Chains A and B, each alone.
Chain A
Amino acid sequence: MPERSMIEISRVTRSYGAFKALDETSLTIREGEFFSLLGPSGCGKTTLLRMIAGFDTPTSGSISVDGQPMDGIPANRRPTNMVFQSYAIFPHLNVEQNVCYGLKRLRLGADEEKRRVEEALSQVSLTGLGKRGATELSGGQRQRVALARALVMRPKVLLLDEPLSALDKKLREQMQVELRRLQQAVGITFILVTHDQYEALAMSDRIAVMFGGKIAQVASPKEIYQRPVNCQVADFLGGMNFVKAEIVEENGASMILDTPGFGRVKTDKPAAFVRNGKGATLGIRPERLRVLWDDATDKYEVAGKVVDRHYFGEITHLVIEIPGFDKPLSVTETNNFGADDIPVGAPIRLAYDPDALVALAD
């Protein structure tokens, strides 16, 4: 992957009166990467996207795209294009006219214009629908038109504001794959705003997780999921068991934690970790715990009792009480060994991988 930076956001703040939608945020997005801004609503991700597009101005700080500072440059003169959440398809124009809307101003000549519109329509698999009216399109087709309309401009950066949130689950999953493939084909930097962690994990090269106007962590999907820096990030990205632990030893980059069930564990120290006398939190994802059947054993195991069971078709969620833990552990187990038949109240032993245990800042 090219390492050249495409977008530099330095110390950007956006205040609305006393409320800070974005607080002293800095971020570098590389050329050609699929970058996601992930967070709950109101975390400032859309504000950041709209400031990159030019629809909103930073109260302080600056944004540059491809080395060019964007201060004072209106949205219509920026090398970015956007796919709106509502798609914003012009209702009085047909598909073709929507797609070539931005090209008209460039005066490319009829042949070149037609060629680029055809190319964009085929990129989003809408070939042959050029004459279709904007009001006669399905949700998925509208989304594709919005995508083609932005891609045809050959922007340096394509901004996507929750583009899949209006689609049904099946179509959304299909579009995730297609969007990822499209991004790799055109090589344009994509910035996706989403509140859906699976979407961000499935599509991105890197993810920035945001809370309350601040970026909590920027990392690859795998790292964000497996090595979240704090409890908030860990919780937002899916199920996580939090276990209170005592700090036995703390070094520059690592620490040794002690819990009643897992014993002494050596983990990486999270960057944001502050020792506050309350000990630390150890996290483990529910799918990293494995039920030990019959008399199977493992080098690392904890014993407990099943207190609840939830059936989800291909998997079962087991809630297991471990003596000494303040909260029961959740375990996700596939149903091919009969996890859905484990009776509530039964004693159970779980195997775990000590590498899957992560220390978390509060």
Chain B
Amino acid sequence: MTAPAEGIAALPVVRKQRNPVLQSEAARGLGLISPTFIYAVIFLVIPIVLVIANSFWTQNYLTIDRTFTLENYRIALTDPIYRDLLMRSLWISLLVSFFTVVLAYPIAFFISFHGGKHKGLWLFLITIPFWTSYLLRVMSWKVILGYNGVLNATLMGLGITNGPSDAFLYNTSAVVITLTHAWATFAVLPIFVSLEKIDRSLVEAATDLGDGPLRRFLRITLPLSAPGIISATLIVMIPTVGDFVTPRLVGGKDGVMIANAIQAQFGKAANWPLGAALSVTTMAVVTAMAASVVLVIRMAARRIR
């Protein structure tokens, strides 16, 4: 047994020596990540750097004055219009993420705990409405909420209201309703995944120790699905703050959000630096809000004992 093994060890190393720099672990690692890294630099880092740079410059009609100034931030933070718009955007996105998660949770719960063999089919069915264009879905909400819309006709038909009401469309709640519907699936999926990860014997153990269905949900299932709730909230909240299509279509005067103002600065108003300052401010505020929401949910999950 030993003799042939020694023979192999005695053979000279014939593999060709390549450049040791290319052979190194670090070089190979960098080589592997470089496509994604270059992609991220071109499409993520450069645009953000440009926006941040712009926010410190000044627009002089058609040219841009590249001397450093904080004037844009002064306007963005103190002008009551922008402050109100930002506050309203945050409020709307908070409401939207709250309602989306509250509505998505039971769906995810049902699929995960009672979906049986058809979990995949249920998830597939949930994505079907999202095969149509977002614009079409917004338009159909206009049909439902409008002055001569489905909702008004139903209320009048049931004798609850006497005449059509214009209270449903072109305001904040119309924006909240439309966005909640639009983001539902994106919230169902992360919650579903976190519910799937819960070991069912934990739920049985809670039952065994005396908990009825409600108590074991509150003490075991809900806190253990907190990571799903957090990601669902973030997935909905962060893009919602920056949405400008929905408020434009169903928001009316009361539904204008910060993104509409930013769009105006980059478009009609032609004040890129101010638009950039508004963008950066919004990003910072959204980050802060997202972080605090995460903290609040984590703390709430820890409080349930």
Complex Cα gap A86–B204 (Å): 11
Residues A90 and B220 in contact, CB atoms below 8 Å apart: yes
Among candidates B207, B210, B305, residue contacting A93 with C-beta atoms closer than 8 Å: B305
Tell me the bound Cα distance from A213 to B134 in angstroms.
57
Q: Across the interface, which residues of B come within 8 angstroms of A74, CB to CB?
A: 207, 212
- B210, A90: Cβ atoms closer than 8 Å: no
**Is A90 touching B211 in the complex (CB atoms < 8 A)?**
no
Q: Give chain B's interface secondary structure class.
A: helix
Contacts A88-B202, A92-B223; A82 near B211 (Cβ below 8 A): no
B201–A84 CB distance below 8 A: yes
Known contacts A104-B305, A105-B215, A153-B210, A90 near B205 by CB under 8 Å: yes
State whether A75 and B208 are in contact (beta carbons under 8 Å apart), knowing that A86-B201, A105-B215 are contacts in the complex. Answer: yes
User: CB distance A75 to B220 under 8 Å?
Assistant: no
Return the contact of B201 from the options A80, A81, A88 (Cβ within 8 A): A88
Q: How many residues of chain B have a CB within 8 Å of chain A?
A: 20
> Which residues between 192 and 227 of chain B lie within 8 Å of chain A, taking CB atoms?
199, 201-202, 204-212, 215, 219-220, 223-224
User: Which of B210, B302, B305 touches A76 (beta carbons < 8 Å)?
Assistant: B210
B219 neighbours in A (Cβ, 8 Å):
101
Q: Is A53 an interface position by the 8 A CB rule?
A: yes
CB proximity to A under 8 Å, residues B207-257 = 207-212, 215, 219-220, 223-224
Please report the total number of A residues contacting B with Cβ < 8 Å. Answer: 27
Q: Which of A62-92 contact B (CB under 8 A)?
A: 74-77, 80-82, 84-86, 88, 90-92
Our pick among B202, B209, B220 for the contact of A153 (Cβ within 8 Å) is: B209
B239 to chain A, nearest CB (A): 29
Q: Is B297 an interface residue (CB 8 A)?
A: no
Inter-chain contact A88/B305, CB cutoff 8 Å: no
Query: Across the two chains, which residue of chain B brings its CB closest to A82?
Result: B208
> Which residues of B from 48 to 81 have beta carbons under 8 Å from A?
none
Does the CB pair B205–A82 fall under 8 Å? yes
B301 at the interface (CB under 8 A from A): yes
A325 within 8 A of B: no
A88 engages B224 (CB within 8 Å) = no
A76 & B212 in contact (Cβ 8 Å cutoff): yes
Instruction: Say whether B199 contacts A53, CB under 8 Å.
Output: no
Q: Judging by beta carbons under 8 Å apart, are A81 and B209 in contact?
A: yes
Least CB distance, A354 to chain B, in whole angstroms: 50
A97 interfacial contact with B, CB 8 Å = yes
Whole-angstrom distance from the CB of A107 to the nearest CB of chain B?
A: 12
Can you list 20 pairs linking A and B with CB atoms under 8 Å apart? A55-B204, A55-B208, A74-B207, A76-B207, A76-B212, A80-B208, A84-B205, A88-B202, A91-B202, A91-B224, A92-B224, A92-B301, A101-B209, A101-B219, A105-B215, A149-B205, A149-B209, A150-B209, A153-B209, A153-B210
Q: Which 8 pairs across A and B sit closest by C-beta, in order of nearness?
A: A102-B209, A88-B205, A88-B201, A75-B207, A82-B208, A76-B207, A76-B210, A84-B201
